[in-house]
Chain A
Amino acid sequence: MEPVDLDFEEADLELPSEPMTLLMGPSHPAMHGTIRMVLKLDGETVQDVDIQPGYLHRGFEKMSERGTWSQVFPYTDRLNYVSPLLNNVGYALAVEKLLGIEVPRKGQIFRVILGELSRIADHLTGNGAIAMELGAFTPFLWFLKAREWIYEACEEQTGARLTHSFFRIGGAAFPPTEKLQSQIRSILPRVLEVIAEGESLLLKNRIFLDRTQGVGILTKEHALGMGASGPVLRSAGIDYDVRKDKPYLTYGECDFDVPVGEDGDTYDRFMVRSEEMRQSCRIIEQSLDLMKKIAPGSPEDAVSITDPRIVLPPKEKVYSTIEGTIAHFKLIMEGINVPPGEVYGYTEAGNGELGFLLVSRGGGNPWRVRVRGPCFFSLQAAHDMIRGKMLADIIPTFGSINMIGGECDR
Chain B
Amino acid sequence: MPTFKLDDIEIPFEKGETIIQAAHRQGIEIPHYCWHPGLSVAANCRMCLVEIEPGPGQRAMMLDVLKWDAAKNDYVVDRKPKLQPACQQMAAEGMVVRSENSHFVKDARAHVQEFLLVNHPVDCPICDQAGECRLQDYYLSEQHTPKRMLDEPVHKPKATVFGDTIVYDAERCIACTRCIRVCDELVGDHMLDLRERGNRFEVVVAPGRKLEGDYTLMTEHVCPVGALTSSHFRFKARVWTLKEIPSICPGCATGCNMYIDVDLRELRAYRNRPRDNEHVNKFWMCDDGMMTYLRESEGRVLKASVRKESSREETTVEAALERAASGLKGVQKGWLAVLLSAQASTEDNFVMVEFARQLGAPLYLSAKGPWKGDEILRNVDQNPNRAGAVAVANNAKVGSLKDLLHAISAGQVQAVVGLGTDIDADAESLAVLSRVSEVVLIAAHDGPLAARASVLLPAASTFEVTGSFMNVKGIAQEFRKALPPKGDAVPAWDLVARLGRAMELDLKYRKFKEVRAALAVLTPAANPERVPAADAPSTPPAAPTTPSTATNP
Do residues B552 and A327 form an inter-chain contact, with CB atoms below 8 A? no
Q: From known contacts A246-B552, A308-B140, A345-B553, infer whether A323 and B544 are also in contact, taking CB-CB under 8 Å.
A: no
**CA A357 to CA B550, docked complex, whole Å:** 10
CB of B144 within 8 Å of the partner chain = yes
Do residues A329 and B124 form an inter-chain contact, with CB atoms below 8 A? yes
Question: A-side interface residues toward B, CB under 8 Å?
Answer: 93-94, 96-97, 242, 246-248, 306-309, 313, 317, 319-327, 329-330, 333-334, 337, 339-347, 357, 359-361, 367
Do residues A343 and B125 form an inter-chain contact, with CB atoms below 8 A? no
Q: Which stretch, B14-22, B79-87, B115-123, touches the partner chain A?
A: B115-123
Do residues B121 and A322 form an inter-chain contact, with CB atoms below 8 A? yes
Do residues A94 and B544 form an inter-chain contact, with CB atoms below 8 A? no
Do residues B144 and A307 form an inter-chain contact, with CB atoms below 8 A? yes
Do residues B544 and A360 form an inter-chain contact, with CB atoms below 8 A? yes
Contacts of A344 in B (CB 8 A): 548-550
**CA A246 to CA B542, docked complex, whole Å:** 32
Do residues A343 and B146 form an inter-chain contact, with CB atoms below 8 A? no
* 8 interchain residue pairs of minimum CB distance: A341-B546, A246-B552, A93-B553, A97-B553, A321-B147, A322-B120, A326-B139, A342-B544
CB of B145 within 8 Å of the partner chain = yes
Q: From known contacts A330-B140, A360-B544, infer whether A323 and B146 are also in contact, taking CB-CB under 8 Å.
A: yes
Q: A323-B145, A327-B139 are in contact. List 9 more A-B contacts (CB 8 A).
A: A307-B144, A308-B139, A308-B144, A308-B145, A329-B124, A330-B139, A341-B544, A344-B549, A361-B541
Q: Looking at the complex, which one of A324, A330, A334, A359 makes contact with B146 (CB distance below 8 Å)?
A: A324
Contacts of A340 in B (CB 8 A): 542, 544-546
Contacts of B146 in A (CB 8 A): 306, 308, 313, 317, 321, 323-324
Do residues A329 and B130 form an inter-chain contact, with CB atoms below 8 A? yes
In residues 111-148 of chain B, which contact A (Cβ within 8 Å)?
117, 120-125, 130-131, 135-136, 139-140, 143-147
Do residues A333 and B131 form an inter-chain contact, with CB atoms below 8 A? yes
Contacts of B140 in A (CB 8 A): 308-309, 326-327, 330, 337
Contacts of B124 in A (CB 8 A): 322, 325-326, 329
Contacts of B547 in A (CB 8 A): 342
In the assembled complex, how far is the CB of residue A210 from the closest CB belonging to chain B, in whole angstroms?
41
**CA A326 to CA B139, docked complex, whole Å:** 7
Pairs A–B under 8 Å by Cβ, sample size 6: A97-B549, A247-B552, A322-B147, A330-B140, A339-B546, A346-B552
In residues 22-50 of chain B, which contact A (Cβ within 8 Å)?
none
Do residues A326 and B135 form an inter-chain contact, with CB atoms below 8 A? yes
Contacts of B139 in A (CB 8 A): 308, 323, 326-327, 330
**CA A359 to CA B146, docked complex, whole Å:** 30
Count, A-B residue pairs, CB within 8 A? 99
Do residues B553 and A248 form an inter-chain contact, with CB atoms below 8 A? yes
**CA A309 to CA B549, docked complex, whole Å:** 24
- Chain A CB count within 10 A is highest, among B120, B147, B544, for B544
Contacts of B541 in A (CB 8 A): 361, 367
Contacts of B545 in A (CB 8 A): 340-341
Q: Report the nearest B residue to A320, measured CB to CB.
A: B122
In the assembled complex, how far is the CB of residue A231 from the closest CB belonging to chain B, in whole angstroms?
20
Contacts of B144 in A (CB 8 A): 307-309, 327
Q: Report the nearest B residue to A322, measured CB to CB.
A: B120
Contacts of A357 in B (CB 8 A): 548
Contacts of A346 in B (CB 8 A): 552-553
Q: From known contacts A308-B144, A321-B146, A333-B131, infer whether A326 and B544 are also in contact, taking CB-CB under 8 Å.
A: no
**CA A325 to CA B133, docked complex, whole Å:** 13
Do residues A321 and B552 form an inter-chain contact, with CB atoms below 8 A? no
Q: Report the nearest B residue to A359, measured CB to CB.
A: B544
Q: Looking at the complex, which one of B121, B130, B147, B240 makes contact with A323 (CB distance below 8 Å)?
A: B147
In the assembled complex, how far is the CB of residue A325 from the closest CB belonging to chain B, in whole angstroms?
5
Do residues B548 and A342 form an inter-chain contact, with CB atoms below 8 A? yes
**CA A319 to CA B124, docked complex, whole Å:** 11
Do residues B549 and A343 form an inter-chain contact, with CB atoms below 8 A? yes
In the assembled complex, how far is the CB of residue B118 from the closest CB belonging to chain A, in whole angstroms?
9
Q: From known contacts A321-B147, A322-B124, A324-B147, infer whether A329 and B553 are also in contact, taking CB-CB under 8 Å.
A: no
In the assembled complex, how far is the CB of residue A128 from the closest CB belonging to chain B, in whole angstroms?
31
Contacts of B548 in A (CB 8 A): 342-344, 357
Do residues B546 and A326 form an inter-chain contact, with CB atoms below 8 A? no
Contacts of B121 in A (CB 8 A): 322
- Chain A CB count within 10 A is highest, among B121, B123, B548, for B548
**CA A271 to CA B513, docked complex, whole Å:** 70
**CA A357 to CA B549, docked complex, whole Å:** 10
Q: From known contacts A340-B542, A361-B541, infer whether A321 and B136 are also in contact, taking CB-CB under 8 Å.
A: no
Do residues B117 and A323 form an inter-chain contact, with CB atoms below 8 A? yes
- Chain A CB count within 10 A is highest, among B135, B548, B552, for B552
Do residues B240 and A325 form an inter-chain contact, with CB atoms below 8 A? no
Q: Looking at the complex, which one of A96, A307, A330 makes contact with B136 (CB distance below 8 Å)?
A: A330
Do residues A361 and B542 form an inter-chain contact, with CB atoms below 8 A? yes
**CA A320 to CA B541, docked complex, whole Å:** 38
In the assembled complex, how far is the CB of residue A244 from the closest CB belonging to chain B, in whole angstroms?
11
Q: From known contacts A309-B144, A341-B546, infer whether A321 and B553 are also in contact, taking CB-CB under 8 Å.
A: no
In the assembled complex, how far is the CB of residue B170 from the closest CB belonging to chain A, in whole angstroms?
15
Do residues B544 and A325 form an inter-chain contact, with CB atoms below 8 A? no
Contacts of B143 in A (CB 8 A): 323
**CA A341 to CA B543, docked complex, whole Å:** 8
**CA A361 to CA B544, docked complex, whole Å:** 6
**CA A322 to CA B123, docked complex, whole Å:** 7
Do residues A242 and B552 form an inter-chain contact, with CB atoms below 8 A? yes
Contacts of B135 in A (CB 8 A): 322, 326
**CA A309 to CA B146, docked complex, whole Å:** 11
- Chain A CB count within 10 A is highest, among B121, B122, B240, for B122
In the assembled complex, how far is the CB of residue A92 from the closest CB belonging to chain B, in whole angstroms?
9
Contacts of B550 in A (CB 8 A): 344
- Chain A CB count within 10 A is highest, among B123, B125, B136, B550, for B136
In residues 505-522 of chain B, which contact A (Cβ within 8 Å)?
none
In the assembled complex, how far is the CB of residue A12 from the closest CB belonging to chain B, in whole angstroms?
63
In residues 279-336 of chain B, which contact A (Cβ within 8 Å)?
none
Contacts of A360 in B (CB 8 A): 544
In the assembled complex, how far is the CB of residue A390 from the closest CB belonging to chain B, in whole angstroms?
42
Contacts of A246 in B (CB 8 A): 551-552
Do residues B553 and A94 form an inter-chain contact, with CB atoms below 8 A? yes
Do residues A325 and B125 form an inter-chain contact, with CB atoms below 8 A? yes
Contacts of A317 in B (CB 8 A): 146-147
In the assembled complex, how far is the CB of residue A246 from the closest CB belonging to chain B, in whole angstroms?
4
Contacts of A329 in B (CB 8 A): 124-125, 130-131, 136
- Chain A CB count within 10 A is highest, among B124, B145, B240, B550, for B124
Contacts of B549 in A (CB 8 A): 97, 343-344
**CA A340 to CA B544, docked complex, whole Å:** 5
Q: Report the nearest B residue to A356, measured CB to CB.
A: B553
Contact with A along B417-450 (1 / 0, CB 8 A): 0000000000000000000000000000000000
Do residues A322 and B553 form an inter-chain contact, with CB atoms below 8 A? no
**CA A344 to CA B146, docked complex, whole Å:** 33
**CA A306 to CA B552, docked complex, whole Å:** 23
Contacts of A345 in B (CB 8 A): 552-553
Contacts of A324 in B (CB 8 A): 146-147
**CA A325 to CA B143, docked complex, whole Å:** 14
**CA A340 to CA B240, docked complex, whole Å:** 23
Contacts of B125 in A (CB 8 A): 325, 329
In residues 225-265 of chain B, which contact A (Cβ within 8 Å)?
240
**CA A333 to CA B132, docked complex, whole Å:** 11
